[in-house]
Amino acid sequence: MRGGLWQLGQSITRRLANGDKKAAARRYFATEAELKKTALYDFHVANGGKMVPFAGWSMPIQYKDSIMDSTLNCRENGSLFDVSHMCGLSLKGKDSVPFLEKLVIADVAALAPGTGSLTVFTNEKGGAIDDSVITKVTDHHIYLVVNAGCRDKDLAHIEEHMKSFKAKGGDVSWHIHDERSLLALQGPLAAPVLQHLTKEDLSKLYFGEFRVLDINGSQCFLTRTGYTGEDGFEISVPSENALDLAKAILEKSEGKIRLTGLGARDSLRLEAGLCLYGNDMEQHITPIEAGLTWAIGKRRRAEGGFLGAEFILKQLEEGPKIRRVGFFSSGPPPRSHSEIQDEGGNNIGEVTSGGFSPCLKKNIAMGYVKSGLHKAGTKVKIIIRGKANEGVVTKMPFVPTKYYKP
């Protein structure tokens, strides 16, 4: 789905609206029997969810409202996403922090218990294997979530390094939380609605912080984070309690928080300037090139000690040759792989994500250009279907973020 979930949602909607339901079914639903289903699958279908294959799962791309309306409602009220296709896991043992630090760029040791950060798993050449939100629950327990599409390779990568680490006497073990579901509650009503379902004072839980607490009668892992740029939470809940929790959240919001699919999730994260692994970050892209230099801890910059550190630290010193930037553009919305040219018609890079912004009512995109041409205000041409369209480099996020910080 490198072309973007937004386009896929629009394509399915058009096909279904035009009565071409058999063709849509053949194209998007052919492997339905082989797909994994979340604990909320029947709930999605009952609520009008248009189910599509995504990373081996049957997931809702949208519901009865349009992707445009869903995006706007998340920013005005709130959205509830089922993201149970993502993989949560725990690392435990007295050496879990030094073990993880061999694989990621974050200064995990410096995190206070109950806090977390975005980080990147790197390969030997400094490229990104995956991005992940990691949380230090205690000094001997790390909780992390990896992308659904990267699950198999991430787990194989972690397991391979864990075996050699343990063979040298390291104390670390892991548990993959397949017994839990993951819900993302996002938007301005997220905190007031969730507060109805827990006794814990959520006003004291800030962006990036983590708690184990009772929500709606079940023990949940709660992280104040998300993928929309809005305030919100990711809630890991025992799968047998996921449906009751989803219903309770929707009920307490009195209809203002809506079930929202992957299509709106994609437009929301693009407006927030956030990377989608497989589009905006890949094995050959380093965290420096992706604009994630801030995620490399100060101690890690001095000491290295993670895979590909020599390449990344050299880039830190010399500067990268390409950089991820944002764009506004005219004409049709840019798509993944659209060529980017300078004003003289020379190729300077390509778009990795793009679409029409429901909130800004104009085209937005992100992509990679040669260093030196990455400054805000630089005029470019974006080639779509053979035609050059005016574009300009702009700072991200496109829509201001509203994270809850002290």
pLDDT tens figures, 114-148: 999 999 999 999 999 999 999 999 999 999 999 99
Cα three-residue angle 161-118-125, rounded to 5 degrees: 45
Radius of gyration of the chain from its Cα atoms, rounded to whole angstroms: 21
Percent of the chain at pLDDT exceeding 70: 92
Q: Report the pLDDT value the prediction gives residue 3, as an integer from 0 to 100.
A: 44
Looking at this protein, which amino acid is placed at residue 327?
Answer: F
Taking the C-alpha atoms of residue 369 and residue 45, their distance in angstroms, rounded to an integer, is 42
**Any bridge partners for residue 118, and if so which?**
133
The pTM for the full model equals 0.92
Say which DSSP state 277 is in: B
- Buried b or exposed e, range 256-289, using 16+ CB within 10 angstroms: ebbbbbbbbbbbbbbbbbbbbbbbbbeeebbbbb
Closest CA to 263 of 59, 14, 1, 67: 67
Element (H, E) at 395: none
Q: Report the pLDDT value the prediction gives residue 26, as an integer from 0 to 100.
A: 45
Angle between the 21-29 and 5-17 helix axes, to the nearest 10 degrees? 150
Q: Report the pLDDT value the prediction gives residue 16, as an integer from 0 to 100.
A: 47
Burial grade of 50 (CB within 10 A; 0-12, 13-18, 19 or more): buried
**Any bridge partners for residue 388, and if so which?**
383
Taking the C-alpha atoms of residue 20 and residue 7, their distance in angstroms, rounded to an integer, is 17
What is the arithmetic mean of pLDDT over 104-120?
A: 98
Q: Report the pLDDT value the prediction gives residue 313, as an integer from 0 to 100.
A: 97
What is the arithmetic mean of pLDDT over 269-279?
A: 98
Q: Is-cis flag, bond preceding 60, omega within 30?
A: no
| Per-residue model confidence as pLDDT tens digits over 348-394 | 999 999 999 999 999 999 999 999 999 999 999 999 999 999 999 99
| Strand runs labelled E in 105-207 | 115-122, 128-138, 141-146, 173-176, 180-186
The length of the chain in residues reads 406
- Buried b or exposed e, range 33-42, using 16+ CB within 10 angstroms: eebebbbbbe
Contact between 197 and 216 (Cβ < 8 Å): yes
Using pLDDT thresholds of 50, 70 and 90, give the confidence band for residue 405: very high
Using pLDDT thresholds of 50, 70 and 90, give the confidence band for residue 223: very high
Contact between 246 and 183 (Cβ < 8 Å): yes
| Per-residue model confidence as pLDDT tens digits over 148-200 | 999 999 999 999 999 999 999 999 999 999 999 999 999 999 999 999 999 99
Closest CA to 382 of 357, 355, 359, 361: 355
What is the arithmetic mean of pLDDT over 18-42?
A: 67
End-to-end C-alpha distance for the chain, whole angstroms:
37
How many CB atoms are located within 10 Å of the residue 7 CB?
A: 17
| Per-residue model confidence as pLDDT tens digits over 60-78 | 999 999 999 999 999 999 9
Contact between 350 and 373 (Cβ < 8 Å): no
Q: Report the pLDDT value the prediction gives residue 33, as an integer from 0 to 100.
A: 78
Which contacts of 295-298 are long-range, i.e. CB under 8 A and separated by 24 or more positions?
295/105, 295/106, 295/117, 295/118, 295/119, 295/120, 296/105, 296/106, 297/105, 297/106, 297/107, 297/110, 298/107
Known binding residue 234? Answer is yes
Query: How much is the mean pLDDT over the chain?
Result: 94
Q: Report the pLDDT value the prediction gives residue 11, as an integer from 0 to 100.
A: 54
